[in-house]
A and B are shown apart, each in its own frame.
Chain A
Amino acid sequence: MSSERPKLGPDIPKVITAWLSASGRVVYLTADRNWSEELSDAEVLTGAGAVDILAWAAKDQTRVSDPYFMQVTLDGKVAGRETIRETIRARGPTNHPMFGKQAGNN
């Protein structure tokens, strides 16, 4: 069971992802401290300061639930050992291509 997300050290590029509290939709933190449903809008974080931003995100409870670090490449593509999970989360269920972001009906 993988309810725990892997620890990502400061050198690993990452974004912050969460779920919108009202709808449960998957979102990513942008540089202007908003939440976007598009991964391409997310701010790629590196370095030790990322944990402070995650701490801030964790307090943004009215808008989102359960934020966490998600590994990406430097140009913001899903990466690392949770690639399958996060790709499905970013796009939608693979067995239902007509649902979710992949179908534009999130």
Chain B
Amino acid sequence: MYRYDEFDDTLVRERAKQFRGQVERRLKGELKEEHFKPLRLQNGVYLQLHAYMLRVAIPYGQLSAKKMRQLALIADKFDKGYAHFTTRQNVQYNWIRLADMPDVLDVLADVEMHAIQTSGNCIRNVTSDHLAGANLDEIEDPRPWCEIIRQWSTFHPEFSSLPRKFKIAVTAGETDRAAVRVHDIGLHMKKNAEGRIGFEFIVGGGLGRTPFVGPTVREWVAKEDLLSYLEANMRIYNRHGRRDNKYKARIKILVSELGLEEYRRQVEEEFAAQNTWEKVVLPQDEVDRITAYFAAPKFAALPAISAAFDAFKAGSREYARWAKNNLRPHRTPGYVSVHVALKQQGEAPGDASSDQMRALADIGETYALDDIRVAHEQDIVYPHVKLDDVPAVYAALKAAGLHASNAGLASDIIACPGLDYCNLSNARSISVANEIQAVFADPEFEDDVGTLHVNVSGCINACGHHHVGHIGILGVDKKGEEFYQVLFGGRADEKATIATIQGPGLRHEEVAPAIRRVIDQYLTLRRDKSEKFIDTLSRVGQAPFKDALYAAA
């Protein structure tokens, strides 16, 4: 994990100190809300339905036990004993008093954390593959590049006042677990014809009001050109991105309006025109220094098979189910990645209590090489766990109520906070998600249905990524009543697709029964058990599923 140097440390502490002064001035009435708002947003502080909300950055979703414990301490000391992990691999607190915010930022700074660039029209927290450094299909660890981009973009004066917020994601696996095609800029690490590793630049993807799968602007950019090529893109966006209409201000609209060819031409022209002194040349020793922080841990030499793990799986159906659904293969023999779904039936997706956070920290420290990741599915992942330790990890998770065995399945629902917390919302998300979860409460039924991604957003801002759910659900307001549009066919992976709205919205209580009918239709239509929902949908088309959705109950 990256460790702060003295500059990082000073920067974060100075920022917290500066914010303390701004909060004091606000509370004394020297700063009006309209003047204070941009300042608080630059420190991740929003005003939500019930209270202030603080969003804390977790760069590329990576935490240590020490950091996780500090997040738990903040939940206990300044909030209501819980926190919410988000689709952007960050964490949010819902009840912190403004007067306490400076103290919270100090507590965060003590463990090299902050809330910088978690809001505002700047380059936001860079997200990545939660299995980076562990998965089988990765050509290189993307995290050093995320860290390089983080350092380059932090307080970059040219890009601190962009037309709109800007999200960058990096992945290096064949399978895209970071949804790079639906980000403002997605970087997919690939080899060129000579076998050199570089970056495919995907620009202008995004969700929200106008969803797009981003097109490839350049198939391959050399590592040494990464920041210069990023700057060329950012400059074109900064120059031509619309500032007159916030609904048209994201880079996806610029790319779409200019057309890919013209956008690419302008970027290439800008890139070529950068003077030598302007190029952000990455010194190799600096790249090496940062990369060293992400060196693979010292894995034990272990056999690929573990008798303890095999006995655990054979011990009960509960254990076997969890092992089948929540473990992911690791590139090192004798190791596995563990997916902790923060999706117990009836709980808000992504929420964890402070006790659970401390349990997650303890497990991470004892069994997972102190490496804890937040996945964009609002789940927690331990990338490196010995197969031999899996039984103990499961026992510890179960003791903390963190043993949901539904990772990647229908009840592992991504849902934004919606109208229960969010000031921008149209409709509740959490309760709809919980009602859909209940449809899959029977583990045998859920296993039979298999891989199914359900995403719920409480408004068109799409924080629940409903456009890329196999089944997406969007809350809308119809004359003061909550309605929900249902979408089919989205996916966030390397075959990224924007889902299609099926038709008129359903009432809150109609959603879960309608989803059940859609699933029954799938079970009837699928070729066999190996054909996933999303594959049946693309083979037979959406019409029969739409019929089921709107069929009388």
Write the residues of chain A forming the contact surface with B, with a CB cutoff of 8 angstroms: 1-3, 19, 21-26, 61-62, 65-66, 80-85, 88-89, 92-96, 99-100, 105-106
Q: Known contacts A66-B33, A88-B420: does B50 contact A26 (CB below 8 Å)?
A: yes
Q: How many residues belonging to B are interface residues under a CB distance threshold of 8 Å? A: 40
Q: Known contacts A24-B98, A62-B28, A94-B431: does B47 contact A19 (CB below 8 Å)?
A: yes
Q: Known contacts A24-B97, A65-B47, A89-B49: does B420 contact A81 (CB below 8 Å)?
A: no
Q: Given the complex, which residues of B lie within 8 Å of A105, measured CB to CB? A: 80
- B78 CB, nearest partner CB in chain A, Å: 12
Quick check: is B419 within 8 A (CB to CB) of the other chain? yes
**Complex Cα spacing A99 to B430, Å:** 15
Q: Given the complex, which residues of B lie within 8 Å of A84, measured CB to CB? A: 419, 427-428, 480-482
Chain A residue at minimum C-beta to C-beta distance from B460: A1
Q: Given the complex, which residues of A lie within 8 Å of B80, measured CB to CB? A: 99, 105
Q: Mark B442-481, 1 if CB is under 8 A from A, else 0.
A: 0000000000000000011100000000000000010111
Flag if B424 contacts A1 (CB, 8 Å). Answer: yes
Q: Given the complex, which residues of A lie within 8 Å of B272, measured CB to CB? A: none
- B439 CB, nearest partner CB in chain A, Å: 17
Quick check: is B287 within 8 A (CB to CB) of the other chain? no
3 A-B pairs with the lowest CB-CB distances in the bound complex, closest first:
A62-B29, A81-B480, A93-B420
- B310 CB, nearest partner CB in chain A, Å: 40
**Complex Cα spacing A96 to B79, Å:** 14
Q: Given the complex, which residues of A lie within 8 Å of B51, measured CB to CB? A: 19, 23-25
**Complex Cα spacing A93 to B425, Å:** 13
**Chain B 27-51 residues near chain A, CB threshold 8 A:** 27-29, 32-33, 47-51
Q: Please report the number of residue pairs spanning A and B whose Cβ atoms sit closer than 8 angstroms.
A: 92
Flag if A2 contacts B459 (CB, 8 Å). Answer: yes
Quick check: is B118 within 8 A (CB to CB) of the other chain? no
Q: Given the complex, which residues of B lie within 8 Å of A81, measured CB to CB? A: 477, 479-480
Q: Known contacts A24-B98, A84-B419: does B424 contact A89 (CB below 8 Å)?
A: no
Flag if A88 contacts B479 (CB, 8 Å). Answer: no
Can you identify 25 A-B contacts, CB atoms within 8 angstroms? Answer: A1-B209, A1-B460, A19-B47, A19-B51, A21-B26, A22-B99, A23-B99, A24-B52, A24-B97, A24-B98, A26-B50, A62-B27, A62-B29, A65-B47, A66-B33, A80-B480, A81-B480, A82-B480, A84-B428, A84-B480, A85-B419, A88-B49, A88-B420, A99-B95, A100-B50
Flag if A85 contacts B460 (CB, 8 Å). Answer: no
Quick check: is B421 within 8 A (CB to CB) of the other chain? yes
**Complex Cα spacing A96 to B28, Å:** 33
Q: Given the complex, which residues of B lie within 8 Å of A80, measured CB to CB? A: 480
**Complex Cα spacing A80 to B479, Å:** 9
- B415 CB, nearest partner CB in chain A, Å: 10
- B479 CB, nearest partner CB in chain A, Å: 6
**Complex Cα spacing A89 to B482, Å:** 16
**Complex Cα spacing A105 to B94, Å:** 14
Partner of B425, one of A2, A24, A25, A94: A2
**Complex Cα spacing A25 to B385, Å:** 43
Flag if B50 contacts A22 (CB, 8 Å). Answer: no
Quick check: is B426 within 8 A (CB to CB) of the other chain? yes
Q: Known contacts A22-B98, A94-B431: does B47 contact A3 (CB below 8 Å)?
A: no
Beyond the given pairs A19-B51, A96-B348, 17 more chain A to chain B contacts, judged by CB atoms under 8 angstroms and listed by A's residue number, are A1-B460, A1-B461, A2-B425, A24-B48, A24-B50, A24-B51, A24-B96, A24-B98, A66-B33, A82-B480, A84-B482, A85-B419, A94-B420, A96-B420, A99-B80, A100-B50, A105-B80
